[in-house]
Structure 1
């Protein structure tokens, strides 16, 4: 993922014929509410698994089937969007990255932002089945339980991207809280200006010169934060896909805001 991973609706309007647009909303939204012209639909629940390889990834075979049936080729440049500020689309992009796809972009501001100023359609997508090949990623940000456990108490910044009340009820020892939605502008539905993002992150000690370890509950919310950090040029970002679900199952230590000590 490069720093140009986040693209505007105007950019997409100008480059739509150069990319494959992927809408990750439910099929009823794609068909009934409308979608970006030329987009194909790959609903969020279809590329996610609780029992796939690498934790919650769908598995290489399932991913290949999804991409081929959606008309996505191995070397297609992809732009993904949803209607939830990009959090589901970001999960799609991280999944694609982990299966070796290159040329990945998040639509800044989601479907609602596109709908405000550009044409939409409810016409069925014209999909030609494609050939898709899963490849090894150039590098993988995935880290496991042991790696995260070993990072506790080090110079690494452990970042909890859940809501404040979730953090208060139980979080990894020493973790800082950053609700992923703090990075989003409620009016534009896209990311806040770069300077504001950098200031917000710096206030939490989340700086580009430090190792960052992200977690939430099930790896959806950290996907958005991961994309934002890569967009801002952060290189050392770990993605704990098992997140708090696995952490609790494995008996990892937790702190609460009130107690401030392991449970």
Structure 2
């Protein structure tokens, strides 16, 4: 298990001066409700683009502008959070990974968990613009349409991270359904215990010895699942960035109640 990918509020409180904290909530939440002291704001809608490099990625030039405006360097140790159980923050971190950022972490339990125990502020964080360098990732989990289609005929576990009703309407042939929110404890807002996670995943045949292929609609929800699987030590996790948006556009096969 790689416990360092997901960090606790306690860990962040002890190491806040050593990391770059990124809040991906809307600006009005960051400014009006408050944020972790020293955090910079990179709202979720700023790093999403249907006209990006791959699927929903924002494009290298736009990503560079965002990082430089936020004062983030390519070698900074990032800790990201939102107030939605980490799903938007995870999308930020996977985007950073795909643009070559190598030190990234998700705050377990999101802003609400932090706010229960630690101070927040509405004061603006002073930011000195940086010079950010997009790099090739050391290894990329991205897979394309053809790779996913070929995986349908292998022993790979195709995982649909959407809600059950979405899955029932239409899903990739042979895919198992795992709503990403099943991995989260509603009360603590953080991840379920490792034992609970491993049992839940094993019940769906999602085990670390198998190749896992993740998809949803637009690659947001699979970002959270990807981070969780990496946290648990899974090594063969494919990330289908195009997800069902591209799959449907390209006429990929589907199974489900609304599939003719």
TM (norm. structure 2) is 0.98
Cα drift, residue 233 of structure 1? 0.2
Q: Give the whole-Å Cα distance in 1 for the aligned partners of 2:168 and 2:51.
A: 29
Kept in 2, the 8 Å contact 1:80–1:107? The answer is yes
- Matched with 1:175 is 175
Unaligned 5+ runs, structure 1:
none
Q: Give the whole-Å Cα distance in 2 for the aligned partners of 1:154 and 1:144.
A: 16
Kept in 2, the 8 Å contact 1:153–1:174? The answer is no
Name the SS of the counterpart of 2:22 in structure 1: strand
- Matched with 2:149 is 149
Name the SS of the counterpart of 2:226 in structure 1: helix
Cα drift, residue 3 of structure 1? 4.4
Cα drift, residue 54 of structure 1? 1.4
Cα drift, residue 22 of structure 1? 0.1
- Matched with 1:72 is 72
Name the SS of the counterpart of 2:195 in structure 1: helix
- Matched with 2:106 is 106
Cα drift, residue 77 of structure 1? 0.3
Task: After superposition, give the CA deviation of every residue in 1:23-74 in whole Å (9 maximum; x if it has no partner).
Answer: 0000000000000000000000101110011121111111111000001011
Cα drift, residue 157 of structure 1? 0.2
Kept in 2, the 8 Å contact 1:23–1:40? The answer is yes
Cα drift, residue 12 of structure 1? 0.2
Name the SS of the counterpart of 1:124 in structure 2: coil
Matched, 1:186 2:186: yes
Q: How does 1:214-225 map to 2 (within 5 A)?
A: 214-225=214-225
TM (norm. structure 1) is 0.97
- Matched with 1:93 is 93
Cα drift, residue 102 of structure 1? 1.2
Q: How does 1:1-263 map to 2 (within 5 A)?
A: 3-256=3-256, 258=257, 263=260
Alignment length (residue pairs): 260
Q: Give the whole-Å Cα distance in 2 for the aligned partners of 1:105 and 1:206.
A: 23
Q: Give the whole-Å Cα distance in 1 for the aligned partners of 2:174 and 2:153.
A: 7
- The alignment's C-alpha RMSD in Å is 1.2
Q: Give the whole-Å Cα distance in 2 for the aligned partners of 1:50 and 1:8.
A: 33
Task: After superposition, give the CA deviation of every residue in 1:174-200 in whole Å (9 maximum; x if it has no partner).
Answer: 000000000000000000000100000
Kept in 2, the 8 Å contact 1:3–1:230? The answer is no
Name the SS of the counterpart of 1:4 in structure 2: coil
Kept in 2, the 8 Å contact 1:141–1:239? The answer is yes
Unaligned 5+ runs, structure 2:
none
Q: Give the whole-Å Cα distance in 2 for the aligned partners of 1:3 and 1:31.
A: 31
